[in-house]
């Protein structure tokens, strides 16, 4: 599924996005290599979810380019874009599982829509994806019967349905207690190791950022763009921008208090 000779799984160039006449972000550029975990950071209202929606094709782009394994999401036709979208999986904030479907039916949906696999093969793959996220045997359960942590992992299993090269995770740890959040972090690390997938995470959870992210891309609401990029610990300790250091040190300061 990977484009031949393409160095980057995701490449965003000089991107401007917004709603109607209002531009939320401008001049946004960053790259994600295969096998790399990159966190999109920033305070409330800085445009993290807006950026994610644009990258995965849910929000029109005002200016700039988005490349998924070298293929343009911006200049592609609708049919070409759907083909590109098969290269990545998305776990939305809150899980976004269909509550009237079983967990297995939720995971099967992308396979039913995008492949010609037999019913038996789809069932086999559903069980395989649940095993990857340590949820064996729950395919017949309803989302409403799951704990918060199980819902998050089931959403990741659905994101893995088409064996993607790239995972986009929107606030995967939001609302979880520290133990379940740590378990989800470990799951993300293990999936990266097993699949060599690129992972892009939108999050504000500092413990998760320092536990799993190779690099962070820091968005600023006032500037409307990326103001810092690099390994999280380096940004925390050595960023020339005070607001970046304060943001990334707040968990440490709270624990000291």
137 occurs within a structural domain: yes
In angstroms, the Cα distances linking 124 to 130, 137, 229 are: 10, 12, 41
Note the pLDDT of residue 252: 53
Helices (H) and strands (E) in the chain, counts: 9, 10
- Please tell me whether residues 178 and 139 are part of one structural domain: no
184 occurs within a structural domain: yes
- For 37, half-sphere exposure in the C-beta direction (CA atoms, 13 angstrom radius) is 22
Angstrom distance (rounded) from CA 41 to CA 34: 20
Of 163, 187, 212, which residue sits at a domain end?
163
205 occurs within a structural domain: yes
- Please tell me whether residues 116 and 195 are part of one structural domain: no
Note the pLDDT of residue 5: 54
Please name the helix (run of DSSP H) or strand (run of DSSP E) that holds residue 171, with its range, or none. Answer: none
Match 């098969």 to its residue by tokens: 86
242 occurs within a structural domain: no
- Please tell me whether residues 70 and 176 are part of one structural domain: yes
Indicate the SS3 state at residue 23: strand
- Please tell me whether residues 157 and 176 are part of one structural domain: no
- Please tell me whether residues 6 and 55 are part of one structural domain: yes
156 occurs within a structural domain: yes
- Please tell me whether residues 74 and 193 are part of one structural domain: yes
119 occurs within a structural domain: yes
Among 61, 63, 67, CA closest to 87: 67
- Please tell me whether residues 174 and 57 are part of one structural domain: yes
Note the pLDDT of residue 96: 87
Angstrom distance (rounded) from CA 225 to CA 229: 11
Q: Are strands 61-68 and 88-91 parallel, antiparallel or unpaired?
A: unpaired
| Structural domain count of the chain | 2
Which residues of the chain have a pLDDT value below 70? 1-5, 251-257
Note the pLDDT of residue 231: 97
Note the pLDDT of residue 175: 79
238 occurs within a structural domain: no
- Please tell me whether residues 3 and 70 are part of one structural domain: yes
* Residue range 70-105, pLDDT digits in tens: 999 999 999 999 899 999 999 988 778 999 999 999
DSSP 14: E
- Please tell me whether residues 154 and 173 are part of one structural domain: no
250 occurs within a structural domain: no
- Please tell me whether residues 176 and 135 are part of one structural domain: no
Angstrom distance (rounded) from CA 23 to CA 81: 23
Q: Which residues form the domain of 71?
A: 1-87+166-228
Strands, DSSP E only, in 92-193? 166-170
- Please tell me whether residues 7 and 65 are part of one structural domain: yes
Angstrom distance (rounded) from CA 105 to CA 237: 46
- Please tell me whether residues 147 and 21 are part of one structural domain: no
CB 55 within 8 A of CB 66: yes
CB 84 within 8 A of CB 11: no
Of 143, 163, 183, which residue sits at a domain end?
163
Note the pLDDT of residue 255: 44
Note the pLDDT of residue 251: 55
Tokens representing 234 are 């380096």
Of 115, 142, 163, which residue sits at a domain end?
163
């Amino acid at each position: 599924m990977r484009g031949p000779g393409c160095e980057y799984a995701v490449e965003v160039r000089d991107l401007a996005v917004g709603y109607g006449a209002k531009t939320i972000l401008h001049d946004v550029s960053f790259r994600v290599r295969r096998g790399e975990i990159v966190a999109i950071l920033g305070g409330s209202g800085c445009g993290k979810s807006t950026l994610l929606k644009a990258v995965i094709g849910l929000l029109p782009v005002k200016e700039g380019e988005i490349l998924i394994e070298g293929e343009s999401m911006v200049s592609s036709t609708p049919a070409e874009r759907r083909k590109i979208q098969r290269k990545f999986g998305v776990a939305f904030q809150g899980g976004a599982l269909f509550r009237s479907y079983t967990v297995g039916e939720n995971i099967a949906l992308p396979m039913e829509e995008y492949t010609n696999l037999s019913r038996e093969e789809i069932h086999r793959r559903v069980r395989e994806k649940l095993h990857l996220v340590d949820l064996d045997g729950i395919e017949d359960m309803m989302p409403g019967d799951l704990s918060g942590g199980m819902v998050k992992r089931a959403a990741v299993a659905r994101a893995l349905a088409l064996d993607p090269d790239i995972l986009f995770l929107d606030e995967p740890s939001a609302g979880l207690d520290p133990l379940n959040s740590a378990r989800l972090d470990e799951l993300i690390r293990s999936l990266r190791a097993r699949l060599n997938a690129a992972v892009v995470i939108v999050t504000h959870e500092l413990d998760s950022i320092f536990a799993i992210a190779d690099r962070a891309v820091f968005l600023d609401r006032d500037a409307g763009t990326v103001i810092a990029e690099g390994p999280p610990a380096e940004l925390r300790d050595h960023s020339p921008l005070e607001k970046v250091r304060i943001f990334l040190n707040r968990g440490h300061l709270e624990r000291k208090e």
